[in-house]
Structure 1
């Protein structure tokens, strides 16, 4: 992330038990919930970039 990028926040809605599980798991790995959420989101974004077909490949091989 460049210094020019602004950090923003957003809300995630979990059940109380899911939040507790996530908080405990983060504590066990000595990370914050925010740090772990960012890592998970970045990992997912990377997989999406790798799975997204390029415009030139759309419709090919799906016959």
Structure 2
């Protein structure tokens, strides 16, 4: 089985939050990408089931 093509995604957050996030990831020995990927996977899983019953009209809605 081949791996799915990886794409980049740019996000904006305050510099101080990025510094705190980067520090905690380093202390835990994980990459920032690993943490963000896990958070997105969890959010998508939790919200896929609700997508047919909830209408999302907010910014970034598909």
Regarding TM over 0.5, the answer is: yes
When normalised by structure 1's length, the TM-score is 0.71
When normalised by structure 2's length, the TM-score is 0.72
Deviation at 1:51, TM superposition (A): 2.2
For these two proteins, the number of residue pairs brought into alignment is 53
* Distance in 2 separating the partners of 1:27 and 1:4: 26
| Larger relative helix fraction | 1
The reply to whether residue 29 of structure 1 matches residue 39 of structure 2 is no
The alignment's C-alpha RMSD in Å is: 1.7
**Structure (1 or 2) with the larger CA radius of gyration:** 1
Unpaired runs of 5+ residues, structure 1, are 55-63
* Distance in 1 separating the partners of 2:16 and 2:40: 21
